Chains A and B, each alone.
Chain A
Amino acid sequence: MFTKGTKRKFSDPGEEPASSGDPGPAAPSAAARTLSSSYSLQRQSLLDMSLIKLQLCHMLVEPNLCRSVLIANTVRQIQEEMTQDGTWHIMTQALAAAQCPADRLVATEVLCRQTDAAAQAGQSPKPFSVVGLQEGYHSEEVVMEGDVETEVTMSSLSPLSPQLSSASYLTGPFEVGPCWEEEDEEEDHSESSEPSLMSEHSRHPALEELFSDVDPSYYDLDTVLTGTPKMGPYDLLESLSSHGPTALSSSSSCRSDLNELDHIMEIIVGS
């Protein structure tokens, strides 16, 4: 009756852990440890699930804004709690240290224009950056068809990079612009670039085959959750709601005034 999914049912620490299927702890201290690790696992899986939900919203019809807002709020709650726990920092470091197999999706970021990305590449790595930025890195701005407020960045990595053979594709266009760029300079950039991954959903037929071998099981939490306000889950919201603005928000006023059609043509041509 329930769709296949995580085996563990999420339960608060106060609720009985029996439903989660964890083995009963032997001693009280072990119990506390088991309980909290079980809670952490559940919380993590809830976070992963929420990110999938936010990413897989792209359909032919506009996604449900209420649902997106509620999921984004849930993600934010988890992030806040994990930040208070101190587990947030641990997790992001663990992600940074992990190896990156060749067929994984990399980077999940919304980048500014190509020039900005290239400029940033030489500077301190930022959590949203494409892994292994190097020469030959090439990113394009694509405006989601018809959506004035949103952009999609497709980065195709240079063939020089042995690790990163697949292209990365952002499903959730984020606000970009000079103001975004400023945010990039903030403290989170101490993190080294890491194999950040995100599930994808391509709406463009030409791109589908690029992502056929994508492993959707990794998600770049940083991209969605790392604390700079402009880069929160609301960016996803913005994109996913895909609502043409009647009044442009302040950050969109910073954005490029490149022709939307040009961007679409770039993607199609695959330059």
Chain B
Amino acid sequence: VKYPDCLCFAADIISTVEFNYSGELLATGDKGGRVVIFQHEQESKNRPHLRGEYNVYSTFQSHEPEFDYLKSLEIEEKINKIRWLPQQNAAHFLLSTNDKTIKLWKISERDKRAEGYNLKDEDGRLRDPFRITSLRVPVLMPMDLMVEASPRRIFANAHTYHINSISVNSDHETYLSADDLRINLWHLEITDRSFNIVDIKPANMEELTEVITAAECHPHQCNVFVYSSSKGTIRLCDMRAAALCDRHSKFFEEPEDPSSRSFFSEIISSISDVKFSHSGRYMMTRDYLSVKVWDLNMENRPVETYQVHEYLRSKLCSLYENDCIFDKFECCWNGSDSAIMTGSYNNFFRMFDRNTRRDITLEASRESSKPRATLKPRKVSTGGKRKKDEISVDSLDFNKKILHTAWHPKENVIAVAATNNLYIFQDKIN
């Protein structure tokens, strides 16, 4: 299933992808402020081959572009993150955010309508009360399924800097939002107030050398969250310790390898994404060249390191020049925490099996992804000799970057966003 990809507007560039807790729904946000939700097809005996397909369930405009008159600057409508709330009733709720404003959306189905009103006709015209001679009880009649999205809460004006993360707490009542310098804690019911729990803005902005790049709540401990920085560090904070969590409980940093130090060392160490494992025992960080798995009980180094595209290390100057070195790749766990996935360039994405230590490179492109066809592993040749199916580093297309990927929480289904196309792949061997 793909986005309608016949038209390539910049507004269609996908900026976030997220499965809900059951995996039944998949939400995407794009640069134009729209949210498109896909739904997993129900199993059907008549058409068993349809199982596994995701079809469009709902589309709505979440954010509009705004103009900050005070600063004479535009506020982009691009959706930076979507996070689902756990489902508590028939409706679905999600949080979507742009640079400045977070919104809570309710997505509900309507498949019945009431007919037989007393006071109005079937076409809605009001009836003259004097003409009504008898009363009837309206009955619910089935109608074509309609999916409605309505904004239930708008959490605005709490962030001076650009929001990069939102994360729903395990208490299902609060959530955090993080921008470059601050992290706020919200209650889902309260929009006019939020608690500032982290503030790294220096008194003198000239002393600023480090920013917050990502933040996430612990999946089980509602008092614990982590945030990563542009210097490659992760801080774990406990909200019980103090109201303002400027002092971390744990500080994760891998000592630098002095032999590989260069002027780009700091930039490539900047963490672009941090994700807890489903178990809550580990967390994963993505920096420019690698993915690292950390044990929360060990702060001085990660327990696993996976090279995503080490062949880029000798190209850092060019990547700095064309700004690719600042690309923010995300990463994700599979449902059982046995595998991790992240994106790369040339529409490649990488999957690592933590148990077997095997890794695979796949490509998300129309040419290589006919429906029902199996993806062929790809390889980038680093040495002088290029084998037949390999692609050389200099042939990689750095405009085709896969920044956003998502893994179904229970099944081996993955969603990969390649610029303005969404690819959904399913593992047949199950």
Contact = CB atoms under 8 A, between A and B. Distances in A.
Contacts of B209: 69, 72-73
B210 interface: yes
Interface stretch (B11-19, B37-45, B122-130, B391-399): B391-399
Contact of A5 (B69, B207, B321): B321
Nearest to B396: A1
A88 interface: no
B71 interface: yes
A62 interface: yes
A78 interface: yes
Interface string A139-168: 000001111010000000000000000000
Interface residues of A, number: 55
B382 interface: no
B160 A243 contact: yes
Nearest to B205: A238
Interface stretch (A27-35, A102-110, A112-120, A227-235): A227-235
B322 interface: yes
Interface in A212-244: 229-230, 232, 234-235, 237-238, 241-244
15 contacts: A1-B396, A3-B321, A19-B314, A65-B181, A66-B213, A70-B266, A73-B266, A74-B263, A74-B264, A74-B267, A78-B263, A145-B72, A230-B206, A234-B206, A241-B161
Contacts of A74: 263-264, 266-267
Contacts of A230: 206
B262 interface: yes
Contact of A64 (B205, B261, B326): B326
Contacts of B201: 247
Interface string A47-73: 001000100000011101111011011
Contacts of A5: 318, 321-322
Q: Chain B's interface: helix, strand, loop or mixed, by majority?
A: loop
A32 B161 CA distance: 47
B316 interface: yes
Contacts of B263: 10, 43, 46, 74, 77-78
Contacts of B206: 175, 229-230, 232, 234-235, 237-238, 249, 251
Nearest to A243: B160
A246 interface: yes
B132 interface: no
A241 B314 CA distance: 30
Contacts of B71: 62, 145-147, 242-244
A159 B230 CA distance: 47
Contact of A69 (B74, B76, B208): B208
Nearest to A50: B320
A84 interface: no
Contacts of B180: 65-66
B162 A65 contact: yes
B211 A2 contact: no
B7 interface: no
A9 interface: yes
Contact of A70 (B99, B181, B318, B326): B326
A38 B316 CA distance: 17
Given A10-B263, A62-B162, A146 B396 contact: no
A86 interface: no
A245 B74 CA distance: 17
A69 B266 CA distance: 11
A259 to B, nearest CB: 14
B397 A1 contact: yes
Nearest to A13: B262
Given A2-B321, A14-B259, A250-B203, A69 B70 contact: no
A12 interface: yes
